[in-house]
Amino acid sequence: MAIYKDRVEIYNPGAFPEGYEPQDFIDKAERPIRRNPKIARMLYYSKDIESFGTGLKRIADACDEADVKYEFKKMKSGFVVCFYRSEEKADKKPIKADKKPIKAARQEMILQFIRENGSIGNIEARKLLDLADSTVKRILKEMVNDDLLVMEGERKGRRYLLKH
C-alpha cells in the first residue's frame, strides 16, 4: 500500500488474469479466478472475505456511491488499484497504513493450517504465506513469543504447534 497526497494505491504483485480486463469483472458476470484456493478458502472461513470474485465490482460500486475517482492499472509487475483523493482531502496530512490487519490475517492462516495439519514448518509457512524466509521466521517467532505457538525440534526439523 502506498499513500500519497493525492491518492492511495494498493499494489498486488500478481499479474491480472490473462485475457481479462478489470472492467470484465465489473460489468459482466465473469467467474472468479482463484490463483491460491487455499488462501481464498482460509480468508472465506475466517470471515475476512464474504465471497469470491466480487471485489472489483464492490470497489467500483462503493467508489461510485461515495463519488471517489478510482482506477485499476494493469502493469507488467502486477496490478494496482488507485483511489484518488478529492482536492479538499489531498490538502490534509496523509495517514500511515495500519499493518495490524495484515499481521492478524497471516497469523490466522498459520493457525488454521496447524488446526488442519497438526503442525507447520518454516518451508510450509513460506509456501502458505508466499513470503521470504526471514519474514516467516519473524512471524513464527512472534507467535511463539505471544504464546500462540510452541516450537519443537531444531533448525530444519523444527515444527510449530498450537499452544494448549
**Stretch (H or E) spanning 150:** strand 149-152
Mean pLDDT over each residue of the chain, to the nearest integer: 83
Tell me the residue length of the chain: 164
Query: How high is the pLDDT of residue 116?
Result: 92
Label residue 85 by pLDDT band (50, 70, 90). confident
Task: Taking residues 48-72, report their average pLDDT.
Answer: 82
pLDDT, one tens digit per residue, over 98-135 is 566 788 888 999 999 999 999 999 999 999 998 888 88
Region of 21 (left: φ > 0; alpha: ψ -120 to 50; beta: rest) is: beta
Is the pTM here over 0.85, yes or no?
no
Query: How high is the pLDDT of residue 54?
Result: 72
Architecture of the domain delimited by 100-162: Orthogonal Bundle (1.10)
Distances (CA, A) of 9 to 70, 77, 85, 108, 157: 10, 15, 11, 25, 40
Domain boundaries, the chain: 2-90, 100-162
Joined grid coordinates for residue 66: 461515495
